[in-house]
Structure 1
């Protein structure tokens, strides 16, 4: 539901990479919803796991690219297709690289988001959302102190929370941010 709420408005604003990233995570979630909702746990297990890994990597690469570039342009559609192709290639040819590249893209995106929030006074919602995703991936998903069911539910709820934060921050246009000051930090050294 979060992906449906967030991806289309971002796409309409021309923010192709964030919309693509949220849509990728939404597709993975939809596969999981059908898998568990229809009682097809065994039948769709491989599709859900593979789709989540490949689309998760594509989503994090797209988010990192968007945050690093700090802009959207007309070539973002082609970049999204290229990111999806790269993620699919890694999934089919080098599965061992999926998790490290996912964490690398997440860490690079987080570092850039923190820098932008600190340096340019932008919203801390993006770093917060990415931090939730990082902590969730490292501490919750395969947590030895939680039951498998509890870890699964907490993991997916935290993904939804992170997407809400990311989508909310990315819906504001740069002009809105400057004019309203809603996402600007106090004026320190400007």
Structure 2
């Protein structure tokens, strides 16, 4: 992790622990172990402590540490409402990020739709998802949970004689209760990166 990312993460952690919610483990949700909090994030075992965040037992890389610390700061006691899923552009204040979201979350996967289809089961398992989302469509689709209360529904269309392959990523109905909109855009990007890593592994 670069110094700048590390400083941002530590700033977020200082803010979190300076006024630590008594029920944070219920809000996340996760398990509390003293001043540590354990839950799943981006397909890995995540641990938040006053001095850092780990994923899979390793120091959290780059932006993921920022996203996880922001989630801990922003998460509320509301439950995740899956449906109706909404497009990123339907989230309030998302307009400045719509283009980048389309490029880094959806178009990023278009050239790998067949490989993703072949590894669908392992992708869904790794990211605590389900094969049959509440709102489906396309040639195949699945819902993933990169963070406990934020669900992403990916809808894939395979290429045919008339149309090229395409990918759509939708958010759970109240995802914006748990992260700022720029954070949600990054969650989409890094979830897509995880999907591709799993598809090509």
TM-score by length of 1: 0.24
Compare the two structures and name the one with the higher helix fraction: 1
